[in-house]
Amino acid sequence: MRSSLHARWAVGVSAAAVTGLAITTALGSPTFADPPTADSSDFRAQVTSAGVGEHLDAFQAIAEANDGTRASGTQGYDDSVTYVVEQLEAAGYSPTVQEFEFPFFQELSTATFEQVSPDDITYTTPDDFSTMTYSGSDDVTAVVEAVDTDGTAGASTSGCEAEDFASFTAGNIALMQRGSCAFGQKAANAVTAGAVGAIIFNSGANGAVDSFAGTLGSPSDIPVIGTSLAIGQDLLAPTGTEVHLATDTISEIRTTSNVIAEAAGEEDEDRVVQAGAHLDGVIEGAGINDNGSGSAALLEIAEAMADESPRKTVRFSWWGAEELGLLGSEHYVADLAANDPEALDAIELYLNFDMVGSPNYVRFVYDGDNSTYGEAEGAATGPKGSGNIEKTFHDYFASQELASEETPFSGRSDYGPFIAEGIPSGGLFTGAEGVKTEEQAELYGGEAGVAYDPCYHADCDDISNVSMDAVEEMSGAMAHAVYLYAVNARSVKAPTPSALPEQSTGEKRAEAHDYDAPNHHAKRR
């Protein structure tokens, strides 16, 4: 059934319930002009938690049929793509599958790291060491040789330059200190010098002393691990210390894909509202909360939008290889920038939905204007209009008398490539490995002192790891925002005629046409 949307958007959820607004303000409500409004109630009624649940069940079944995973580069991911495409086609879309190559990594069994001489010491993972992502696979016993380090705690350039290996003995294991350059650069220099393995120990700078995991960025030919400052220092002396290092990995280039589908705009076809969620999970589990939840909710919204007549074009996106570094969204944005910059410019805003069903959830909204988080907290810059999107979500939750609060706009999910191109962005998140506070437990329920998602990046992230209450609340907010920006003629960047409030910091607001005055979510990596 098709219906006219444009007659309904004068009345909206911005007439929020007073109690809801009080909750949001108490958490540090941002200060900016009102976003567009629209009555999304009829549209939201078509987006049900039962419908989202059916898609989640399908993702679970796909994982169970494919060794328990839906990670990019596996059959489980390919089957997830097929499922999303089939559902979109059944709804009337003509989806595009955008393939791209990416570096795939899987650790097949637990690595071994032990000192052979002069002492007999067996190290354990992850307490003492971790295999680097994209480590090569091999079993070697060799002498450890320090590369431009004496183990002094602090900033180090160890292994960053080819010259650091000028006297290195081929066939040894390179021992390097963390710092100054990428792990992949250190490992690549070690390979060139003839090392048969690499051990990178923590720097000791700013308290960084523990064992750590890292990524090389691309496949390496040798085993590479990260370890603690203390172990690194111990391996430095005496000269000639010998270790046994064995890793069992797959580290290679594979092909994966994004899925893109559009509902064409009825009046402003060249103005695009884009919404996305990553479809892949980690290799360790089914990835039902992370991020089957966002993908399933987005699919339910796309199915509802197929029966509507949006003013602007609505583009839905399911990204591949997010878990290995936002690779799908980066490929998509880079491809547009290189081959169709006008199409990139046509994207008015991007909405990101990554983990919206965490079992111990909080209703997090990306801090688009940095009113709560700033550069000191590692926040990224939200392009003008991002704060407007943030307010849209806060206003919606207030209208439902639900608390919400900010999460750092950190660039750790698929909005990162979009904000790098100056595209206003925002979205929702219900929490990952962070721990719920007492105050949050009082506001949202759940258990204080426990992670928002105790199964984050673990094999227990299955269908039992999803709060359907969270899914229902967040999918309603998702549907509202997609609908609002799809039917409204105003740009997310456009100011309202009303006077603008002062920033909470007391700094002067920008000119009216820059009302968002951005400076700078948060997942992981």
Alpha helices in 378-460 (DSSP H): 386-399, 416-420, 438-444
Place of tokens 């046509």: 346
How far apart, in whole angstroms, are the C-alpha atoms of residue 182 and residue 446? 39
Catalytic one among 262, 303, 308, 322? Answer: 322
Q: Is 269 a known active-site residue?
A: no
* DSSP assignment of 53-76: HHHHHHHHHHHHTTTT---TTSHH
CA angle 273, 476, 86 (to 5 degrees): 65
E strands, 178-283, are 197-201, 224-227, 242-263, 268-278
Q: Classify each residue of 35-44 as buried b or exposed e, where b means 16 or more C-beta atoms within 10 Å of its C-beta.
A: bbbbbbeebb
Sort strands 173-177 and 197-201 into parallel, antiparallel or unpaired: parallel
Q: Please, are residues 71 and 77 in contact by the beta-carbon 8 Å criterion?
A: yes
Q: Please, are residues 344 and 337 in contact by the beta-carbon 8 Å criterion?
A: yes
Exposed / middle / buried, residue 250 (Cβ in 10 Å: 0-12, 13-18, 19+): middle
CA angle 422, 425, 304 (to 5 degrees): 135
**Any idea which residues carry the catalytic annotation?**
322
